[in-house]
Amino acid sequence: MDRVRKGRPGVRQRIGAAIAVGAAAALAVTGLAAPAQSADAGAAGAKAADVNVAKNAGFESDLSNWTCTANSGAAVSSPVHGGTKALRATPSGQNNAECSQIVSVKPNSTYKMSSWVQGSYAYLGARGTGTTDVSTWTPGNSAWQQLSTSFTTGANTTSVTVYTHGWYGQSAYYVDDVSVLGPDGGGGTDPVEIPAVPAGLKAGTTTSTSVDLSWTPVSTATGYTIYRDGTKVASAGGASTTITGLTPETTYNFQVSATNAAGESAKSTAVSVRTPKGSGGGDGGTVPKHALTGYWQNFDNGATVQKLRDVSSQYDIIAVSFADATATPGQITFNLDPAVGYSSTADFKADIAAKRAAGKSVILSVGGEKGTISVNSDASATAFANSAYALMQEYGFDGVDIDLENGLNPTYMTKALRQLSAKAGSKMVLTMAPQTIDMQSTSGGYFQTALNVKDILTVVNMQYYNSGSMLGCDGKVYSQGSVDFLTALACIQLEGGLDPSQVGIGVPASTRGAGSGYVAPSVVNNALDCLTRGTGCGSFKPSKTYPELRGAMTWSTNWDATAGSTWSNSVGPKVHSLP
C-alpha cells in the first residue's frame, strides 16, 4: 500500500498493463517456439549415460563456470533450494541480470532443462541449440518454483549456452539446482546420486482441515515429494510443509520422498494422521457479517492526523499501521509515533479499549510498502507468533493484518499464523491486503497462504489500486479504476477457494491516497451491488451472486478524513446494508 512515512513518496510504481498483456504475449511466443522433440519424450528415453551437463549447477562453488552480466549475480547462503548456496541476481536499468554457462552437448540429442527459482520475474532458456532455441519464465513466487523445458541440438551442435535472467527494473531473483539432463557431450558432469530415503517423518499441528509435516533433511536432495494415501499431493523445497484441504474426522497416511537431478528416492515410512472434528473457527470475533475496514496511520504523511478516537464509527475493523521489524528475523514490535499526538502509550491503549467496547476490532498491520519483516524459517515463524501475541496482550489488539508487499513465504507464514491462532483463540481477527498481482493465481504465495489458513481467516482485502491492468476470472484484461476491474478480479478469489465472507474490496479513500486506481465511492457501491445482488455491473457480470461478501476496505482513515469522510459516509452504509 502507499503507506509511507512523512517525507517519503506516496506513489508506488507497478508493473501494470504492460506486464499483464506483455506476459501473455511472452507466453504465447514461448509456446510457438516448442522444441522438435518434447521434454517428456526426452525424459522417457533417457538412458543411464544421461548426465547433467551443467557444471556447478547448485552454485556450491559460487559463480564458477557461470558468467553474469554487469556483475549482477552472486552466490548466497539464503534462501537456498538444495545444498548450502544459490544464485541471487539483481536486474538494474537496462541490465536484466543474465547469468549463463556454455555446456558441452552431443549433436542430434534432446536435453531436458530445469531449475528452481524464487523471488521476482525469472527466465530459463537455451540458445545456440542449432534448432529452435527455447525459454520459459515465471512472474515470480515467494516460494521455490521449478521451471522446465527441453531442446534438441542440431546436426553440428557441440555446445549450447544455457541462461537465466530476470526482468528490467524488477527486484532480485534466485536460482538453484540447474539441470541440463542428456547425453554427455564430453565436458563431464558434477557427480550426482539419487538421494537417500527421508527419515523421521512426523506430524505437527493438526486442524480439522490441515496438518504440518516435517522430516529429517537429506543432504543431497534438492526437493521433496509428499504423498497422501499413495498419491502425490505436494512438493516442498525444505524438510517441512503444510498439507491443507483435508476433511474433518478422517484418517490419512502420509509419506515423503527426496529428489534431485538424478531422480527420486523410495518413499519414507508412512505416518498416520487423523483430523479432529471441525470447530468452526475463524469467526472474526466481533466482526459483523458485512464489515468496513480502514487503515489508521501511525505517522504523519500529509493526511489528517488522527487519534483512534477520531476514526469514523462507520469502520468495523481498524488496522493500525504498522508494526516494526526488530533485529530478530520474524519478530515484530510496535512504536507509537509522537507525530500522531498521543500524550502517552496508556492514552493510546485506552482508545483501543474504547473502540473495542463500541464493538469495533482493532488489529495491528504488519508490512506496508516499506515493510522489511521476513518469515522464512521455523525460527522466524515462532518469533513472529510469539511477538505478535505479546503485542496483542500488551495493547489489546484483536489480531493482525498481513500486508507484506515485498514477498511472502507461504509455508512459514502459514506456520506463524497457525501458531498465533493457537495462542490467541478462535476470535482472533486475521486480515490480509495483497496486491492485485499476488492474487492472479492460486499458485501465488499470498493466495496459497490465504487458502492454507482459510479456517482462521477473516477477510482478504486486496488492493485494487497502484496496479495498472490485470486479468479477470474470465481471462480478459481489465483496467483499474472501473467497476469491471473490481468485480472481475474479485471473482478470481471468489471462485478460487475463498469463502465470499473472506473477500473484500480495497480502494483508496481519495485521489491522494494512492498513485493510481482511485474510484468514486459510487463505483465501489456498484461493485458491491454487482457481486452481492447482480445489479450495478459493468460489462462483466459474474455467473452468480455472492450475498455473503464481507465488504470493503480503504487506505486510509486519515485520507478519508482529509476528504471530509466522503468515502466512509458513502461506502459504509452500503456495506452495512448488504444482504
Q: Which of 489, 421, 424 is nearest to 452 (CA)?
A: 421
Preceding peptide of 556 cis, ω within 30°: yes
Q: Cβ distance 6 to 302 under 8 Å?
A: yes
Pair type for strands 399-404 and 429-432: parallel
Give the HSE-up count for residue 273: Cα atoms under 13 Å, Cβ half-sphere: 30
What is the secondary structure of 89-156 as a DSSP string? E--BTTB---EEEEEE--TT-EEEEEEEEEES-EEEEEE--SS--EEEEES-EEEEEEEEEEEE--TT
Q: Which of 402, 335, 334 is nearest to 374 (CA)?
A: 402
C-alpha 383/C-alpha 279 separation (Å) is 26
- What is the Cα 533 distance to its own chain's centre? 31
Q: Cβ distance 160 to 174 under 8 Å?
A: no
C-alpha 506/C-alpha 464 separation (Å) is 6
Q: Which of 73, 166, 71, 163 is nearest to 120 (CA)?
A: 166
DSSP percent split of the chain into helix, strand, coil, nearest 5:
25, 30, 45
C-alpha 356/C-alpha 375 separation (Å) is 29
C-alpha 164/C-alpha 577 separation (Å) is 52
Q: Cβ distance 512 to 253 under 8 Å?
A: no
- What is the Cα 266 distance to its own chain's centre? 31
Q: Which residues contact 110 (CB under 8 A, 6 or more apart)?
A: 35, 37, 39, 41, 42, 45, 150, 151, 152, 153, 182
| DSSP class of 455 | G
Question: Is position 98 annotated as part of the catalytic site?
Answer: no
C-alpha 237/C-alpha 224 separation (Å) is 6
Pair type for strands 551-555 and 503-508: parallel
Which helix (H) or strand (E) covers residue 567, if one does?
A: helix 566-576
Which residue out of 98, 193, 249, 405 is catalytically annotated? Answer: 405
C-alpha 508/C-alpha 2 separation (Å) is 9
Which helix (H) or strand (E) covers residue 356, if one does?
A: helix 345-357
Q: Cβ distance 122 to 147 under 8 Å?
A: yes
Question: Letter for the amino acid at 487?
Answer: T
Active site residues: 405
